[in-house]
Amino acid sequence: METKIVVLDGAMGTQLGSLNLTETDYRGNFDVLNLTRPDIVKMCHMKYLLAGADIITTNTFNSTHVAQKHYSISPDVAQSMAHMGAKLAVECAQSVRSSGKVAFVAGSLGPTPVSVSIVMGPDQPYNRSATFALLADSYQREADVLIQAGVDIILIETVFDTLNCKATISVALDSVSGRTMSGQNIQAFWASIEHSMPFCIGLNCCLPAKELALHLRTLSRIAPCCIGAYPNTGESCLGKTESPEEFSNLMGHLCCEGLLNIVGGCCGSSFIHISELAKAVSTITPRHTPPRSSHLWLSGLDVTLLDHSSFIKIGEQCNVYGSRFFSQLIKQNKFEEAACVARSQIQSGAEMIDINTDDALSDSVGKMSAFINQLSSDPAIAKYPFVIDSADIAVVEAGLQRIQGKGIVNSLSLKDGEDIFLQKAKLCREYGASIIVMACDETGPAETAERKVEICRRSARLLAHIGVPLHEIIFDMNVMTLASGTRTNNAVEFFEALKGLKREFPLSYTIGGVSNISYPFRALPSLRQAITSVFLFHAIKAGLDMAIMNVTSATDFNSIPQEQRLLIEKLIFDQNSSEDTAETLIHHAQHHSPSHLPILLQSPSIPASDRLTLAIAKGDITCLKSDLEEALQHNTASQILEGPLLSGLVQVGSLFGDGVIFLPHLLRASRVMHQAVEILKTTTAQFEFQKPRGTIILATVKGDVHDIGKCIVGTVMACSNFKVVDLGTQCEASTIVSQACEQKADFIGVSGLISPSLFQMELLAQELARRKFHIPLLIGGAATSELHTAVKLAPLYAPLIHIRDASLCVPIVSTLMNPQTRLHLLDTIKSKQQTLQKAYATSRNSLEVLPFQQAREAKLILDWSRSQPRMHFTGIEIMRDYDVSQGTAPTNKYPDILCDQKVGGDARAVFDCAQTLLLRCEEQNIIPLHAVLGLFPANSVEEDVEIYDDESRAKPKCVFHGLRQQTHSNEHCLALGDFIAPKGSGILDYIGVFAATAGTKMEALVTQLNSEGDTESSLVAEALSHRLVEALMETVHHNFLQYCNLPKGIRPAFGFPQLPDHSEKEAALALLDAERAIGVHLIPGSYAMSPCASSCGMFLLHPEAEYFGVGCIGEDQLQHYAKRKGVVPSALKSVLACAVVD
């Protein structure tokens, strides 16, 4: 396996089916041929061995007694079939081994016609056609016979139900969804069976070779064992049969990617297919096996990967002890209604479900079995991992026998001694479940941090003896109640235990049942929720990885009033004053809640207008209708909208612009504004209010395809009763102007992310002035600034306003719509723009721009006496479906921001949304990350870099033109060429050129999410694609430096400060043939790249290379630069991301 790719044989059924067999020979059951026509079976084995197969599989695919029962064949005869099938294959292998050929026998165990996971009828979704125990017994009997007959390998093949497989590992995937028939994706399948530590895992059946590539790449990345594939060759059911040459070529390509250790054929494959396959892979190096992951993989139909970077919420309501409602449903066998409890928790944010059906007066085993079967029949629930919660080992086993994914057992402890502890742990390992270990021993639950850690240490040592890895252990520190009258500070001891465990067992995880902490306050639900939220905030900071909790009534930490939060923190941390603090808290809650915000808003002492402002600011609709009705008694609908409602939105916009809150909060406030508008429409007879307040045209200007900020503006404006006409991206100035005429627009709003967009905005401003428009033009986007708007755009057209942040658009346009405030705002803006123009002119006059020749004389001169390392490979490499899971990207404040007191809740919402989208994208291959990288011989000529075809360096293949700094800001005036060995120096230097993209499918997903009304997810999806491209570039750069054996380097991108000329992208993409390689091209008429989430740039190799900004350049350098490029200087100003000083 380490030196060659091993060849498995082809389809036995295909070959046997092609023979002229009679009903007497096989009776529709090929396994019978082991007894009736052993000569034919041996002939097939020998032909595959002579064709080049290293492994032949026994003709025992259906020889379990469960499978043969469908042919009315007894278990004894089924065992005889299995024994003879193995004996025939072993004899054939032995006959060729004598001549020196490698030959092994794999005993085939097929999936059987029954399923333990899949519902076979709609009437009782908690019933199944077979049990785990029945299948386990059947598989065990056949496996024993095969091993006794001498097989070398047990091959569990064509698995369509993971639970069937666990009762027994090659997988059969559905040809459309890429999942097993029982619904699991490939990552979830691996998580379910990895505990068995298989020698090899592979894919077979259902799909031909060309459609297995994506799934094999995923499997190859995650499985620390050999990978095999023996796909179909087409077959009539797939509409096409591949020839031996086509089949072997496709498989050869997969092997060349380093994906496989074992290859073979399934349905439709013949001796010739295997012969050609053996030749094709004979010289290819097998896949290198990656190390085993130290992260915790859990699964339902989808995978849940825990890597200590995120907090997991586990729903607690499916517990007969925790919910009276659920308990009654279980007692009455209302499993479908009980499943609704689980679904509600999932919809409220639970990422796993804790399940407990223990009841001394009922059949807990039967209840657990039926309920998990019910949950498994609902994909919306079954996609998540289950936590089997029971003190009864029989109930635990019943649960584990019915989850096809990898779950958790809650919980084990040393309270009954080490022997019982280990007995239960071994059962958990047998079924592949992770283990929650309670900090409890023979003396009872631990109270102090020292005792908690001591018990966990002892438990971990015992589990290590039976092979349980640390990352499969989840420690429960026993969350004790607050204000319980004990002398021990339960919360502080819990936090300290968490910190101690994280130091001693960094690979393990921690959990807590956090509802216990606030149990004494159960009469005040809102206070209890607030206590739980504050406790969780500090527990997560101390190292808590997951919590079992009531997610349906969780309170946002950021929404808790400061006074109440401070009291709760005093209760948690100050044991000496806990009784007094508890009394104060109860008194406070009784006077300010039971649900602090709604009661506050209902308070008659606060005017309705102020309550409406608070409702918008908090994103709360509880009393919205009644407060609006009260406000209408004294104000018109327009006064309410432009008064308290707009005031609330202004508050939110200001906080959003300052980074105090995140996008979800802004959108939530906007939705409340929208509901308020709809209520006003239905409760007022004022005709003028039934119409939109105004019309705004939104567009991303020509040459730019980015529109995240524009979409946010559109959402907020629409929610505020404005008619929004979104023209999309790449909009010509003439189109924008004509639509403004046609729609009788009150405003035009344009955005741009890249610097060429600024030139397009100038054209738009000039066109509006030429057409004598007078409606406000709103300018926004990452490329814009208040200074640029004042200096470059305001002199061309008025009124023209820069919008610093999307959230500020509504307050500004609302002010402009009001005749009483419009003129004052426009005068203020004009005055500020004039001030900025004067300040800019003053700074330009004082800015000393060196003459270009003098700047050249101040260039950086590096020591080139030590020659650069010669590269063993130059050329272009295409990297498709690149894996960035182990890569890095700038993290800024992550993960600390998730626990931030002000923005942690919103940050978590964005993070969770992105994680959900990532899983969706990975399953549906929505973001295939592609890159193309070229490593070329290169030398510099002053600022420019010449790229050569080969080491002769006789003639440049292309030239990248660079700009030089021209100010006194640094000791040297840098240019990109300074870090490349000069031409004529005799130094053989090199440069990397790259392009990367997340593809086009994300744009379709964004459109779909928008059409579904999920604006928040669509915006996160768009941002996510750009972050993934950044991670892709960082990962490729890291690997590139490792390949070149260099400690560091830089990767400037075109259009950024070091390479400010966007037009240079054209040469880079042409050099890489990027459109053919990965689909990246420039949008006609602009220098924006398509797909939108794309980037291109250079890798510089010199260890002293550094990032810098060109800054302002002089007219003299512009002239020189234009001459080198062969263009007129005026054409460059629109594509340069730097200023030109006249």
The token pair at 336 is 């479908």
| Nearest to 997, CA basis, from 1115, 1106, 1086, 884 | 884
Q: How far is CA 767 from CA 310, 323, 822, in A?
A: 51, 67, 24
| CA–CA gap between residue 925 and residue 282 (Å, rounded) | 32
Q: How far is CA 7 from CA 13, 28, 226, 949, in A?
A: 18, 29, 13, 40
3-state secondary structure of 1014: coil
The token pair at 563 is 């006074």
| CA–CA gap between residue 279 and residue 248 (Å, rounded) | 8
| Nearest to 536, CA basis, from 485, 498, 575 | 498
Structural contact between residues 107 and 139, judged by C-beta atoms closer than 8 angstroms: no
| Nearest to 560, CA basis, from 607, 604, 518 | 518
Which pairs from 901-904 meet CB under 8 Å and 24+ separation? 901/537, 901/557, 901/558, 902/558, 902/660, 902/661, 903/558, 903/659, 903/660, 903/661, 903/662, 904/537, 904/557, 904/558
Question: In the chain, count of helices (H) and strands (E)?
Answer: 44, 35
| CB burial of residue 279 (10 Å; 0-12, 13-18, 19+) | middle
Say whether the peptide bond before residue 756 is cis (omega within 30 degrees of 0).
Answer: no
Structural contact between residues 222 and 193, judged by C-beta atoms closer than 8 angstroms: no
How far is C-alpha 483 from the geometric centre of its chain's CA atoms? 41
| Nearest to 143, CA basis, from 128, 129, 157, 130 | 157
| Nearest to 891, CA basis, from 1030, 1016, 1020 | 1030
Which pairs from 839-844 meet CB under 8 Å and 24+ separation? 840/787, 840/790, 840/791, 844/1141
Catalytic (active-site) positions: 704, 706, 757
In 813-859 the beta strands, taken as DSSP E runs, fall at none
Structural contact between residues 493 and 502, judged by C-beta atoms closer than 8 angstroms: no
Q: How far is CA 657 from CA 650, 677, 786, 845, in A?
A: 10, 24, 15, 33
Instruction: Please compute, for residue 753, the number of CA atoms within 13 A of its CA located in the half-sphere on the CB side.
Output: 17
| CA–CA gap between residue 376 and residue 1049 (Å, rounded) | 51
Q: Using the structure block, give the residue that is written with the tokens 């309170």.
A: 555
| CA–CA gap between residue 716 and residue 670 (Å, rounded) | 6
Cα-based angle 747, 752, 757 (whole degrees, multiple of 5): 110
Question: CB under 8 Å to 78, separation ≥6 — which residues?
Answer: 63, 64, 65, 67, 68, 142
Question: CB under 8 Å to 986, separation ≥6 — which residues?
Answer: none
User: Which ranges in 685-784 belong to alpha helices (H)?
Assistant: 687-690, 708-719, 733-742, 756-770
